Amino acid sequence: MEKDIAKILFSQDDLDNKVKELGEKISKDYKDKELVLIGVLKGASVFMSDLMRSIDIPISIDFMAVSSYGLSTTSSGVVKILKDLDHSIEDKHVIIVEDIIDTGLTLHYICENLKSRKPKSLKICTLLDKPERRKVEMTVDYKGFDIPDEFIVGYGIDYAEKYRNLPYVGILKRNVYEK
């Protein structure tokens, strides 16, 4: 797998430090509140696992699985819910945990869908953000890193269901996905 990586953007240490920082901020912001983290599968699974261990207040978790990429490298903009929440979020403080925000189309859809379920508050936490590719305006409340407009993998993020297990975030070589 390493041979397919053009460059490592964030090492395991970089990721660990940023996740700890985000967890501390969320813990402070939600002290004495009922907080639900909603992970967007599959990409956010590694980030969310580490993030929730960095939060030192009681939380509950849930997951959604959505699809807008398929095996492509760009979002189609058509969002399909593959797995919905298991529990109600009505009157609860909710943070959506994402691996990466690109165009924002998928996340915008998720936000609108969850707002209709009447949470007390709804915020966004992402590890990686590509603000220059944004097609819809949105506020990112907790952000790890801004990244360049490159196709990245690792730390839960895949290309064609591969590379999720890399302990770092790296840029995938173009020849891998332009076959």
104-146 pLDDT, tens digit per residue, is 988 999 999 999 999 999 999 999 999 998 999 999 999 999 9
Contacts of 71 (CB under 8 A, 6+ apart): 160
pLDDT computed for residue 144 by the predictor: 98
pLDDT confidence of 74, banded at 50, 70, 90?
low
Phi, psi (degrees; rounded to nearest 5) at 81: -80, 120
pLDDT computed for residue 80 by the predictor: 85
Nearest-CA neighbor of 85 among 41, 30, 55, 26?
Answer: 41
Using CA atoms of 152, 12, 111, 40 in order, give the dihedral in degrees to the nearest 10: 90
pLDDT confidence of 157, banded at 50, 70, 90?
very high
Question: pTM for the full model?
Answer: 0.92
pLDDT computed for residue 75 by the predictor: 54
Nearest-CA neighbor of 76 among 66, 89, 85, 84?
Answer: 66
Question: Which domains occur in the chain, in start order?
Answer: 14-148 (3.40.50.2020)
Positions marked active-site: 102
Cβ atoms 149, 172 nearer than 8 A:
no
